[in-house]
Each structure stands twice: as structure tokens, then as C-alpha cells.
Structure 1
Amino acid sequence: MTRCTILAAVISTFLFSSSRGQERPGTVIFVADAENGELEQTIALPAFPNIFSPEIRPDGRYVAMDGWRAGETLTDAHVLIVELKTGELTDLGKGAMPSWSADGRWVAISKYQPDGGVFVRSVDGDEERLVDRDGWGIQWSPDGKQLAYARDGNLVVYNLAAETAFEIFDRSNLPYSYIYWNCKWSPDSERICFKGRRTDGTLEVAIATLADEGVQLTARCPADNVAEDVAWHPFKPMILIPQPDAEIGRLQMFAFDPDGSDPPTRWDRQPADRHNGGMSFSRDGERIVYMSAD
């Protein structure tokens, strides 16, 4: 485990109006108030100009993400953790799309082939456990008891206590030919929101409800232009997805009610003059972290 002190540039109370004049190496991570959108911090990693998939640890002290250096590709991605108070960066090595355990001691990660698959990895040590060599885009449930990931057009749910896994869709009649990465559990750990490609090629954002009597699938909205990220608010009936805003001409975060039927609308607590996505709410619902670029 490589530890680099103060490599992360964490800038407190960085206003939108002043941030546009700053030179930034690639994408940055914004940490903002989830209620009013006010920017609290900016995370910039000069050594890793490509940073993606940020998620706040349940205690709110750290943000995990993946990133790779200039001249590298996404298959070289490392799992990176930044302490918000000090800006200290911890490099956990190869991996992508980290998702925190409920106690904050582990992250679930995906790795690219040839030694790829989905894993859980300790944060304070080097312990790593393979979950599924053929899985991708693993996400930890908020209650800490389950993992969800995509595999061969299906969603797999892994029970950590029993060490058992099951595919949620009947393989003899799969509704999807492909399920994308960065799905998201509901706060009660009973539903999963994801982007999928139907067998006829239709793209949609859908919600799968897990129940003893089977899985209830709800197609929520078309996803032709939706990027592969989902954020589910821990208390409000709101899911965020990123997609281009035709009027603004930028990638923006759009909100919809998981239990409603209205189409997604632009979330108005974000800068309209930047591309924004890759978002995640803190467990207390007070903050949001997201990727942003000019």
C-alpha cells in the first residue's frame, strides 16, 4: 500500500464563481452540500488527472475513487482514498469503482482482466478476497450484508454471511443482454437501480425489487444518453443520473422519484457551466460528491 501525504489538493469553501478561473489537471471531485448545492471542497489529484466513481465513506471522513496517471488507460486504474480533513491520499493499488462496506473497513472493487473480476479489499491492510472472477461493477448494500454486481446480462446478489450468490433474473428468459456498471442499492438494501440494455437493444434505467416471492422489475426511464452512474438519496425519494442537457450543452445530473412515473428533470443544485456526473450521496444525506470538468 502506497501512502502519499498531501498529494491531494483539497480546497475548502471553493465557490463556483472563483473555480472557473483555476487551472485543473483533468477532472476534479466536488464535495457539496446536498441540500443547497454549496461547494465545500474540491479534490484535485495532479498525479492522477483521470479520476472517477467517487464515494464517501459512511463516517463522512474519506472519499474513495479510482484514477490513473497521464499516459495510462482505464485498465491501469488504481483505487484511491482521500481524507477530507487533511488531503492525505492512500493508493490501494489496482482496482476500479470502489464501494464502501457499512463499517468503512473494506471496499468492494472491480479489476480489469487478465486477473480481473470483483473483489472485497481491506482499507487498512492488504487483505483481498475474490468474489467472482466473471463479475463487474460490484456495489455494497447500505446494510453491509450483500453485494450486487453484473455478470453476463444478469445481476448477481452475494450474501456475505452465507457466502452464497444468486442471479436475480431467470437465465432462461433474461430481459437484458447487458447490464452496466455503477448500479446502486436503495437505502433499505431491498432494491437496485441500474442501467441495462434490453435484448432488443433498448437502453433503460430500471429498478429491481428483491422479495421472497421473486424479483419485481420496473423500467423507469429511457437511457439512450444516460451515463453509467446512479446515486440514490438515503432519505428523500430521489435518484440521480447523469445525462446531457440539451439547453445547457453540458452533462448534468437529473433527478427522478424511484416510486413515481415522471421523467427525470435537471437537479438545480449543481453548476450549469460544467460537466457533472459520477455522483454519490453521503449516508446521512447531508453531502454529495461528484465528478466535474470544464
Structure 2
Amino acid sequence: MLNHGTAVLLFVGMLLTTDVSAARPTVQQVNRALDIAERAASAQLYDLSLRAYVEALRQGPPSNGDSGDRLDGRFRGARVDTTSPLPPTPVQAVRTRAITLAEKLYPKWKEHLGADKALDGVRHIVFPLNSPRVHPWWDAADAKGDLDLHRGRGLVEVLFVAAVDANGLEQLHAEAQRRAADGSLLAASIALLCCSDDQQRLSAIKTLHSTAENGPARQDVQFVASCLGQADVRNQSQRAEVAAAWHALAVQCRLWNGAEDTFVPALLLRAARENFSVGRNDRAVELLEILHSVSKPGRVITLEKARDVIGTELLVRGLVAETELVLGAELATEFQGRYRNSGLLAGRKFTGAAVIADDQELPEVVIAGSVADEEAAGRVWVSVLDLSTNTSRNLFVLPEFSQIGSLSISPDGTELLLHATSPGEPVSSAQMYCIRMDDGTIRSLGRGIYPAWSPKGRRIVYSSYSPARGVWVMRRDGSDRQLLDPDGWSAAWSPSGRFIAWVRNQTSNYGLVVYDLAEEKLNRPALQLPSEFPFLSAGMQWSADGQHLFVRGWRSQGGQGVLDFQLSGRAGVSVLYRNANGFPERLGSVAQAPVLSVGVSGVETLHLLDKDGELVKLNGQWEGRRNASPCSRDGKQLFYVSRPVRRGGQ
């Protein structure tokens, strides 16, 4: 129950929030209303909490009002310590508070008021009624001292989550598109995040590109850049439009006051790389020229560091003439000698986008049920095993691939990765394919083997024999391919997304390595292999908690098995199972033990390796067929490849 004092406070708060709605509020008014929203939620007055929050913010960011803080004037002409970040202004502080509070209160609003009402409230803040303005309430990420674009946080992210919860993405997309048509760059960016199909996505990217050429404010560009970085781009035409939009945003840097922090150079570098990836070297070089011109001695990104980055980006692509154009002939010559002597060029290889021609002949994938049973019986299937009912059903009927494997289901469950070779082709010619789960549409991602999704589904790690052997990473659409390790093979992404592990099997450079994406360094677990497993093989999987790696190994007596690398605590290596000839696959997000494909009388069968090291055959898989390449997204369903048994067990 509320005491009398709290009730009066909340009533006064309602009056204050009513005053807020009359005009653009001050920082003090917004903070009062946010206090009320928080106190009301604590008192389980969720309707009042949401109302106070919406009334506080729906007129847009507050003015300084009578806060007495004029940061620019206070520091103008003063001697300050530029090595430490300036304190946030009151407007910045209240923006950060508003975002944090929304993230905290939204689950309670949704639970007690319903997703629809919570969505309406947040939508009226981002898209104010009777106003053409859009207010994403975006808090740009702090400069990290590097040249990566770091995502910020914003109320628009809460809006997106609410739209998903309330099944309101289509309506949100329509509202954003309507405002984007009136020239709102922020609305165009929000529309891009809400697209449900490729046609909408391409239209949104084109709208964003055209509105980005109108000289947007820096604060808006920071928000738009974050949205572009999250865009789910799926084909080459979309990638080309995205690259053009990055270029349109980045050239605005000419209008700003240099590179006082890392955002400007990070934006220019990201935009240049996007344009390199689609073959627009002319635009990329232009952006690197701007990066060189805005970099000055003594700034966060010094002129020396900018030149180093520019030289590397151009020289690794063999653009010697362009390096001379941007840096001058003397510096270009110096950089070429320095990089070749240090081996940096050999360690960093880039390629352009994987351009898949529209008329390329792709293998036919048929939805199960549209092929006669007699014909389907002799074909290769992609099947799914429901682990709660122990029943399998067919999803797709595949062509007559001679080799097929490495199934990997996307985190959102919409697409399936695999690699395959056609009859008569060597494994070095294997192609990677991505199949849409809803309609069986297939697309090629180019040559490669062992593809695997990142935890968020935005990138794919894989191994390749060409154009250079090693472990590579690319975007979901096959663009922006980068070689991580020319000596690596068969990689797997950790559940957290921070690490990628792979095997090195070179005699002089052998072992298991783990790459830390956050710190950009390669670690080698100092673990001794059991004597009966002198070599590691392709095929590995992380445990659900990220503390173990299940890795296939070759036995000295012949055959393969599965090893358990414990990476933390009492680190060590143990033998999980001997004579397993299939890749280990973690079963869902809870179980630590892997699923194995084990040969029984020459026919692969799916088994779960329990905590005692015993194999337990999975019930419900297709009998009398070769079942392999298991993968699971949620621990409830297991996807696998099922092939008929030919003569001689083949």
C-alpha cells in the first residue's frame, strides 16, 4: 500500500508531467518526471509510470533551461586536461538516464500493461504526434581509442523490441517510411531496421542514401551509422547501396571540425572498407584522402596513426599508385618497405565481395513432400529430429552431392548453412550454400568448407583452400572476406561471440589456438595432447558455457576420436570418445555433452555422448540411412543430413 506522502508525491508528479507536455521541457523538468516514472513503478503504479515517462520525453530532448550549465562557454579559452574526457552536459546526462530507465522499466510495462500499450508509449516519444521530427534518443558510444565504430544505446532499440513483442514491426516500418519520405534521415534509418523482406530492405537503403546527402548533423550521423552497421544485408545489390550510403554519410566529415575524437576517423575507415568490398575503390580512396586531411598531430587519432592505417588499407590491396596519391611518393615507398620487412602484409589479406552472378546455375533444393516417396527415398535429405517426441521429418530434398556436411542453423532459425561438392569434384572445390528455411531458396557463398554462424548471425567463419588457404570470416551475404590465419583450419565461434577457435596442423606451428576478438590477439592454450592423439582434425564445438572445446583428433593407432579441452580452472585435455568419425555437435544451449555421428556397421548413426562417456543412440532418427552432420539451435530440435545406404555401405 502507498503511504500518504508517496501518494501526494505521485499526484504532484502527474501535474509536473502535464506541464512538461506544454513545450520543450528543461532538464530539471525531465529529471523530475523520470523520478516519478521510477517511483511509480516501484509502487506498482505502472500506468502512471509509463505516462510520466512518455510525457517527460515526447517533446524531444530538453533544453538546458535554468540548469546554469554552459559547458562550451565554461571551457572556452580555458586550459583543460584533454587526456581525460569532459564530463557530460546535463542534456547528455538526462539522455543517458532516460535510455537506461527505459531498458529497466520496459519489461514491467510489458508485463503489467501489455506489449501494445508499452509500444504506443515509446512510439509517441520516438515519433511525436503532430510533429515531423524523429527523436531516437541516441547515446553515442564513448571513444575507445581505436578505429572501430562502437554501437551506442538508444530508446529506439527499446522501441524495436516492443514492436517485435507486440507484432507491430509492419506498422512501425510504415510509420518510419512515411516520415522518411518527408526527408527524415533518422526515420529512414529506423525503417531499415524494421524491414521484413528484401524489397523493403533495398527501398529503405536507397531512401537512406538519398537523404544522407542533405548534410545531416553529426549527432544524427552517429545514429545512422549504428543502424547501417546493424542492417541485415543479404545480397550484392543491397551491399552496393549500403556502401553508397556509407560514402554519403562519411563525406559529411569535410564539414565538421576535424577529428577531435575517434568517431570521424572510424566512420571514414568503415565507409572506405565497405566501398572496397563492393569494388568501388574510387570512393574508398576518396574517403581515405579525407581521413588523411582531418588527422592532425596531437589528436586522439594522430596523423602518424592515420597514415599507418591508410597505408595498410591500400597496400594490402595492391593499390600502390593510390598510396602515392594519398600519402605522397616518399611515404608510400617507405611504407612498402616497412610492411614487407615486418611481414604485416603477408599476415593481412583482404578480398572484395563474393560476387555471385544472378544467372549462376545453383543446385535445386526441393521442399519435402513435393517429391514422390519412391524418388525421395534414393535422395539426400535435410531432416529435423524433435527431441521431445523422438520423431523426424524431412525438410528438404537435396541434389546428388558427392560430399555434404557442416550443417549450421542461423541463430534466428531462418537459414541453414552447409558445404557440398558435386560428383567428381575434389573437396578443395567445395561450395558453401545458404538455404532459407521457409521456402528452400538457395544461394551460394562461394568456395569454402566448414561454415559456421557467429552467435548473432551477422558473420560466418569458414575454412578455404582458395584464394588462400586458412580460416576466413565474412559477412552474412558473403562480402567483406578477411583472412584470419593462413595456417588455421576448421573454426568455431564461442557462445559469447568474443572468441573464435581453430586448429593449426602445420608441423612448425601446431596446436589449438583461440583468437580474442575484443583484444585482437591470438592465444594458445598450453595443453598437452594425449599421446594416442598426436594430431587434431577438422571439427570442433564449444560447450554451452564457453569453458570447454570438443575437438576431433587423429589416433596414432588409426581412426579418430573426440577430445575435451578444458580452457579455464583446472585446464587440461581428456579423451571423451574413441572411434568417432563425425563432427561433435553441442546439443542446444544447456547440455555440455556433444552429439556424435558414429559408424555402426559402416553406417553413420547419431548418438549422444553422456556425462559418463557412454554413447546413447538418439531415438527417432531415420533408420536404415546414413545420418550425420548434426546441428541444434535450441536443444529441442536436431537438424541433420540423411543419405541412403548404397551398395557396400556407401
Tell me the TM-score range normalised by the shorter chain. 0.7 to 0.9
The amino acid of 1:243's aligned partner reads V
Among candidates 467, 475, 485, match of residue 132 of structure 1: 485
Q: Decide whether the 8 Å contact of 1:29 with 1:54 is kept in 2.
A: no
Alpha-carbon spacing, 1:254–1:10, altered in 2? closer, same or farther (3 Å): same
Is 1:288 matched with 2:638? yes
The 3 A distance-change label for structure 1 pair 25 and 165 is: farther
Instruction: Give 1:70 deviation, angstroms.
Output: 2.8
Task: Answer whether contact 1:27 1:50 (CA < 8 A) is retained.
Answer: no
1:46-77 deviations in whole A, cap 9, x for unaligned? 37554211110011111000012233221111
Matched residues in 1 for 2:629 and 2:559: separation?
A: 23
Query: What is the match of residue 240 of structure 1?
Result: 595
Rate the CA distance shift 1:201–1:251 in 2: closer, same or farther, 3 A: closer
Go from structure 1 to structure 2 and tell me whether the alpha carbon gap of 1:200 and 1:214 turns closer, same or farther (over 3 Å shift). farther
Structure 2 match to 1:273: 624
Correspondence for 2:567 = 210
Contact 1:154 1:169 survives alignment (8 Å): no
Q: Which has the higher strand share?
A: 1
How far apart are the structure 1 equivalents of 2:636 and 2:612? 26
Alpha carbons 2:380, 2:400 under 8 Å: kept = no
Partners of 1:44 and 1:278 lie apart in 2 by 15
Normalised TM-score (structure 2): 0.40
- Aligned mate of 1:185, from 542, 551, 565: 542
How far apart in 2 are the matches of 1:38 and 1:116? Answer: 40
Conserved 8 A contact 2:447-2:466: no
Q: Is the 8 A contact 2:380 2:399 kept in 1?
A: no
The 10-residue stretch of structure 1 (187-196 or 37-46) with the greater mean CA deviation from structure 2: 37-46
CA distance in 2, matches of 1:26, 1:71: 17
Q: Which amino acid aligns with 2:470?
A: G
1:64 aligns with 2:421: no
Give the letter for the 1:221 counterpart: Y
Moved more, 159-168 or 201-210: 201-210
Are 1:34 and 1:281, in contact at CA under 8 Å, matched by a contact in 2? Answer: no
Quote the offset at 1:293 in angstroms.
Answer: 0.7
* Cα distance in 1 between the residues matched to 2:387 and 2:513: 30
8 Å CA contact retained: 2:606, 2:627? yes
Cα-to-partner distance string for 1:165-186 (whole Å, 9 max, x where unaligned): 112235xx55442111111111
Q: Counterparts of 1:202 and 1:251 in 2: how far apart (Å)?
A: 14
**Where do residues 108-123 of structure 1 align in structure 2 (5 Å cutoff)?**
108-112=461-465, 115-123=468-476
Whole-Å Cα distance in 2 between the matches of residues 129 and 28 of structure 1? 32
Match of 2:591, as an amino acid?
K
Q: Is the alpha carbon distance of 1:113 and 1:128 closer, same or farther for their aligned partners in structure 2, counting shifts above 3 Å?
A: closer
What is the rounded CA distance, in whole Å, between the counterparts of 2:377 and 2:459 in structure 1?
Answer: 30
Code of the aligned partner of 2:599: P
Higher helix share goes to which structure? 2
Question: What secondary structure does 1:179 align onto?
Answer: strand
Q: State which of 77, 92, 100 in structure 1 corresponds to 2:430.
A: 77
CA distance in 2, matches of 1:113, 1:199: 30
Identity %: 24
Task: Compute the displacement of 1:94 (Å).
Answer: 0.8
Q: Structure 1 unaligned segments of length 5 or more: list them.
A: none
Select between 4-13 and 43-52 the one with higher mean Cα deviation: 4-13
| Residues 67/25 of structure 1: CA separation in 2 closer, same or farther (3 Å cut) | farther
SS in structure 2 at match of 1:22: helix
Query: Does the CA contact (< 8 Å) of 2:385 and 2:393 recur in 1?
Result: yes
Q: How does 1:1-294 map to 2 (within 5 A)?
A: 1-2=355-356, 7-11=364-368, 21-23=374-376, 27-46=380-399, 48=401, 50-112=403-465, 115-152=468-505, 153-170=510-527, 174-175=529-530, 176-197=533-554, 203-211=560-568, 215-223=571-579, 226-234=580-588, 235-246=590-601, 250-257=603-610, 260-282=611-633, 284-294=634-644
> Could you tell me how far apart the structure 1 residues matched to 2:575 and 2:636 are?
29
What amino acid maps onto 2:439 in structure 1?
A: T
Larger Rg: 2
Are residues 174 and 287 of structure 1, via their aligned partners in 2, closer, same or farther at CA, if it must alter by over 3 Å? closer
3-state SS of the aligned residue for 2:487? coil
SS of the aligned residue for 1:195 comes to: strand
Q: Is the 8 A contact 1:25 1:46 kept in 2?
A: no
Match of 2:445, SS? strand
| Aligned-partner Cα distance in 1 for 2:404–2:459 | 20
- Aligned counterparts of 1:155 and 1:199: Cα–Cα separation in 2: 18
Gaps of 5+ in 2: 1-354, 645-650
For these two proteins, the number of residue pairs brought into alignment is 280
Q: Which amino acid aligns with 2:642?
A: S
Give the Å deviation of 1:7. 3.4
CA gap of 1:198–1:269, structure 2 versus 1, over 3 A, is: same
Instruction: Give the deviation of 1:250 after TM superposition.
Output: 2.5
